[in-house]
Structure 1
Amino acid sequence: MFSSLKNLLAAGLSVPRGQAVRYSLGAALGIAVSGVLARILVEGQISFSPLLAAPIGASAVLVFALPASPLAQPRAVIGGNMLSAFVGVVCGILIPDPLLAAAVAVGVAIFVMSLLGCLHPPGGAIALSTALAASSPTPLGFDYPFVPVGLCSVLLVVAASLYGRATGHAYPRRVTQALSPHRTSDRPPGERFGFTRTDLDQVMAQYGELLDVNHDDLDALFRKVELQAHRRLHAAIPCADIMSRDVISLFAGESAEIALARLRAHDLRTAPVVDVRGRVLGLVRRAELLAGGVRPVGQLVAPETYVVGLHTPIEAILPVLSSGAVHEALVVDEDRVLKGIITQTDLLAVLYRAHVVEAVVSAKAA
């Protein structure tokens, strides 16, 4: 009994103070702006009270405090609230008993929202209050789902979007699907090993409960957990330990023709470009040099150069080099002076060596 009571009294979601202030301020501004604009749009013909339906406050909690939740996305907020209001009006008209009308309205609203992919918890409150209002001296009509519910929902979403941009927290949630760097149907290299999206979907199906989180967010979160666990379980290897130190570099002032000859002499496709003090300016590739003619190398530097420090752990550069976006990392000191270079081949060699060592240690332990 005491264990059950303890579970009931367990602490809920803990929010840092800074975030709590941001959420609270955003919700207050969102409600105020929505109410003022709604009154302006209806030319002051309706008082503040009906325009600010109570469940809109619950919607504000979701869109400002839980902006990444599927329940807080615009489709859920606008669609869920309007559909629930419509269901409440219909149930209030068709069912004479207010209590029965409210109960049916809530159940039907949840079913309809789930069916149409716009489940929104405040929708249940809207359905209930709308159905109960049917027995009042001033019952709500079929305009209620549009004004104030629909209007305030739209204005609240717009306010949340603007506030999110102003504070650096995007709303609505934008899920970007990772694509192959070569625009093929393959998943990115970093997502081909370990768990797959199919594994995640199967586990979610076995869980048997609806979780208030997007599957794509879970996928990204778990992959970061994998990387963090790898860093914790394995000693951090700094880039300085695996980099190539005898680097063939090009000077910014030499001509593309001479630089191309040097690359060919060393069978290289890419080389870093440095200034007279050895500081990295960027990378240059054969293609740029072939088209450069007598132009200085400094004018042909590729802007997408990836630069890391001597003490940067290799786990930090693994996702970048495995993505295919870049093929090498230039290692520099505090003054950005070139000290070495790490290629995808260097990383493969280190990972293979680590795998062999782990296999040997495991065999000895057995």
Structure 2
Amino acid sequence: MLLASRLKHLLPPRMDVAFTERLRAAGGGLAGILMTALLARSLLNAGQPALIAPMGASAVLLFALPASPLAQPWSVLGGNMVSATVGMACALALGNTPLGAALALGLALLAMFALRCLHPPGGAIALTAVLGGPALHAQGFHFVLAPVGVNTALMLVAAVLYNRATGRDYPHRVAPAVSHGTKDPAPNQRLGFTHEDLDAVLHRYGQVLDVDREDLESLLHQAEMEAYRRRFGVIRCGDIMSRDVVTLEFGTPLQEAWNLLRRHRVKALPVIDRARRVIGIVTLVDFMKHAGLDRHEGWARQLRDFLRPDGLVHGTKPEVVGQIMTTGVHTATADTHIVELVPLLSDLGLHHIPIVDAEYRLVGMVTQSDLVAALYRGRLDEATGFEKAVA
């Protein structure tokens, strides 16, 4: 029992990875290796190996961990080729010896750190260059280009195609936060930890972290939101949304839409189809952008000219809402917790979120004002509950 308990502690924790993601990664590895081997066989000379073993390790990173800094294109291509260069140099200088193998790995690591292309399979490629035997040593530095360079380039092409086809962003990019061009941090970073706090912690940690810095920051912010949800209970969009929402249709004339915005003193109106499905949203910004109101000269005249129909059957000037509306609208459901709206209404700079049902039909609208009032009410209820507990 004691031995079993000790062995149990050696096992890593269970991986919380969905079964579909495991299948996706395995399918990617299969497709990547198969494509690389078949194409390399047709590109390389008959005496050269079509596929080298370390590409299996690269495939694991590229298809199972496509967001990892160790799996990005420069890390893969640079790491493999730099390591092959270092390994072949050690092989030609010291031969197939323990010292040659050790120096190849150590120098390859230093080179990858220096060039910011750390890629673990590079270590295996450096050793392959030393331990590959006379036939491989006879290739000299040609080994760096073929098969290493060819294999790596083909594997990268397979990774880009497969990951994007299966819904993974590769090369991995983090969408930039909406900025007003000032030094102020994003709204959700003015409380809680900041970029500088995370940088200071990572600096003190001082080790390789196999997760993108921006991804780590995003996960930590999501953990903060999860903690907020736990502390303040369940307040959903359906609890705070406006239900009597003024709407527009694709063919609503611009003058009518403008009049509705002014009459109801709102800054945005959703655009729906006959089934009440949201197909767009029209804001004051849309009017200003299409009417050219970013210029100060004749502002009132420009707006009147823009709203007035020109009467032409095939005119180029927008006449109805559908021609100026913003599509690709961010929406939420009535069951969505309000904390999930915070990044949309703060960092993305949105002011209105249409609330839809399971069939994407409009059921309400949540604004920044609604969210602020709900968060204030949640904090007030928390303070009241604390005072009662103390009393």
Q: Give the structure 2 partner of residue 19 of structure 1.
A: 21
TM-aligned CA deviation for residue 328 of structure 1: 1.8
Counterpart CA distance in 1 for 2:36 and 2:10 is 36
Contact 1:284 1:300 in 2 (8 A): no
Shift of 1:25: 2.5
Query: Which residue of 2 is the match for residue 172 of structure 1?
Result: 171
What do residues 113-141 of structure 1 show as CA deviations (whole Å, max 9, x unaligned)?
A: 11111111111111112123366795441
| Residues 1:148 and 2:147 are matched in the alignment | yes
Q: RCO (CA 8 Å, sep 6+): is it higher in 1 or 2?
A: 2
Q: What is aligned with 2:126? A: 127
Q: How does 1:336-347 map onto structure 2 within 5 Å?
A: 340-347=364-371
* Aligned residue in 1 for 2:47: 46
Of 278, 287, 293 in structure 1, the residue corresponding to residue 308 of structure 2 is: 293
Structure 2: give runs of 5+ residues left out of the alignment: 288-302, 311-318
Identity %: 43
Q: Could you say which residue in structure 2 is the equivalent of 1:302?
A: 325
Q: CA deviation at 1:62?
A: 1.4
Aligned partner of 1:327 in structure 2 is 351
- Hey, what does 1:157 align to over in structure 2? 156
Counterpart of 2:209, as a letter, is: L
Moved more, 272-281 or 64-73: 272-281
Between the aligned partners of 2:325 and 2:282, the Cα distance in structure 1 is 6
Code of the residue aligned with 1:347 in structure 2: it is L
1:85 maps to 2:84: yes
Greater alpha carbon shift after TM alignment, 264-273 vs 349-358: 264-273
Confirm or deny: 8 A CA contact 1:251 1:273 kept in the other structure: yes
Displacement after TM superposition at 1:157 (Å): 0.8
Structure 1 equivalent of residue 224 of structure 2 = 226
The one-letter amino acid paired with 2:382 is E
- Give the whole-Å Cα distance in 2 for the aligned partners of 1:352 and 1:138: 71
| Aligned partner letter, 2:22 | A
User: Which moves more between the two structures, 2-11 or 231-240?
Assistant: 2-11
Contact 2:254/2:321 (<8 A) preserved? no
What is the identity, as a one-letter code, of the residue corresponding to 2:101? A
1:41 Cα deviation from its structure 2 partner = 2.1
Between the aligned partners of 1:212 and 1:236, the Cα distance in structure 2 is: 34
**Aligned partners of 2:165, 2:236: CA distance in 1, in Å?**
37
Residues 58 and 242 (structure 1 numbering): CA distance in 2 closer, same or farther, change over 3 Å?
closer
Task: Point out where structure 1 has 5 or more consecutive residues left out of the alignment.
Answer: none
Q: CA deviation at 1:299?
A: 4.7
Q: TM-score, normalised by structure 1?
A: 0.83
Distance 1:117 1:275, change over 3 A: closer
How much does 1:216 deviate?
A: 0.9
Letter in 2 for 1:38: A
